[in-house]
Structure 1
């Protein structure tokens, strides 16, 4: 029996392949999300193959009951999957079943009846104001080449000063900074575009790097370059941040993405409203942004416990 038949009948596998294609082409989900959904549905079809004593057909998918889905989640939990993994897996299955239902091939009601595993609450771990400022200072960079130190400072300043994801910062071109601009047009997740203010510190950091970079920076090509002139990769900035953590005595949670968390947390602490911060971060849902209110509350309680005489 070949690999396709081992996990699902060809009619099921063909529909699954078309569904995965729509996730990429129409819904424009990230490659990592599509990869995760592919893996989750493959694991589910493998489970059904054992559960039904044979590769599942569309008729089997149509007759799925909530108990079948709960059995799959229980098996995954038994093999060590956590609540986040299980929740994502259920979301992928729901998406696949909704696709089949839309095409008249299945009923998604069974998946909707299964409650998602309760997710553990974890708060982002931002840097303090002082720590963030140390990280983005050009003098703090550890690279031997001055232009590489300036490059690292410029990238990190964009993460903290504009709240960019590392992929968004590395996707910028010189055109994005042409003229006397006060804002950046950023292409974020799912191809969504947003406008973020461009602070003077970020403009100056990018200008310094551009001035001393030894490579020609074409207007519509990547702004940030690696040591040999190729497009700068996220792993390089992550390694530089690791060195900075050791040099500055920062915790392991001080990653490039933590600078984006710091951007949001510090804005909120300074009086910024959630809706505005949501727009600046490019979050699709306000509930995603609301996690920063927990960070701010936690910090207030920490200050209270440390400073109040009756604490």
Structure 2
């Protein structure tokens, strides 16, 4: 297994340095690799070049026996395809046995989103005289105004915000950079929080921070902390829907498309590399268009 450990380390460095993958992506790859190595160990296979299509079929059977969903299996196979591509490129194996493996893709789930009436409830629950209330208001206004990923919001710095032109500098997945505009509601909420509540939270910290969003002790707010804040806001609003940061991202995209924004613009705003990632939102807007048509056109139904 020692040679597995060596090549695993080399693959991690390749992902981090050459592919510039995010820490989350790297860990997903390494978890998939670790479970595959454990399988090889159980099968008494000590050399990566001994893996062939028949062994992969056995591995797939094991995954399905564990009741893994099609999406999880697809991700593992994709990880291992990339791993063997890396091995092949560095002459550690003669060929890539995973290129012959294909997993039928399941239908992508249509993303959930919030209606404006639901959002309004969340905008009204925070105490704007309290530092944490100001922070929470700035947080939800920012997430809805920009559609940022939770990691992008968590990493937002004061120096990234330009209030003179109403834009944020965002470093997204794979260190891809983009400028994100934001509107008046987010501007007011951010300025109130930064000039008042954030200063009071910063007084509790042992050192100065450039992070926009701080926790109650004045330290940087974590992704988990952001999710907890949204959950508490939902409880205060007495809502039954589940709200998470990515749902606000879905809401941002859906509302833009519903109001006539073109797909390419929304792709740029979301920081999607491929248009296909953005196209899933058209399913939501098509359903809404059909609903409006069926309920509004005089001859749509009897």
TM-score (norm 2): 0.89
Change (3 A) 1:159 1:227: same
Task: Using the TM superposition, name which of 92-101 and 169-178 deviates more.
Answer: 169-178
Residue matched to 1:274: 263
Residue matched to 2:154: 170
Question: 231, 239, 245: which is aligned to 1:242?
Answer: 231
Deviations 1:16-46 (A, max 9, x none): 2201121122212222222221121222222
Task: Using the TM superposition, name which of 250-259 and 281-290 deviates more.
Answer: 250-259
Change (3 A) 1:240 1:11: closer
CA RMSD of aligned residues (A): 2.4
3-state SS of the aligned residue for 2:261?
A: coil
Deviations 1:68-116 (A, max 9, x none): 2232112101111101110110011001100001011224442111112
Residue matched to 1:149: 133
Partner Cα distance (1:105, 1:225) in 2: 47
Partner Cα distance (2:190, 2:112) in 1: 26
Residue matched to 1:60: 50
Shift of 1:56: 2.1
Residue matched to 1:25: 17
Change (3 A) 1:295 1:159: same
Shift of 1:272: 1.0
Is the CA contact 2:22–2:174 (under 8 Å) kept in the aligned structure 1? yes
Residue 189 (structure 1) aligned with residue 173 (structure 2):
yes
Paired residues, what number? Answer: 295
Residue matched to 2:187: 203
Q: Which structure 2 residues correspond to residues 221-260 of structure 1 after superposition, within 5 A?
A: 221-260=210-249
Shift of 1:224: 1.6
Residue matched to 2:99: 112
Partner Cα distance (1:108, 1:117) in 2: 23
Give the unaligned 5+ runs of structure 1. none
Shift of 1:49: 2.9
Shift of 1:177: 2.6
3-state SS of the aligned residue for 1:140?
A: coil
Give the unaligned 5+ runs of structure 2. none
Question: 246, 252, 256: which is aligned to 1:263?
Answer: 252
Residue matched to 1:87: 74
Change (3 A) 1:251 1:48: same
Residue matched to 2:301: 310
Residue matched to 2:56: 69
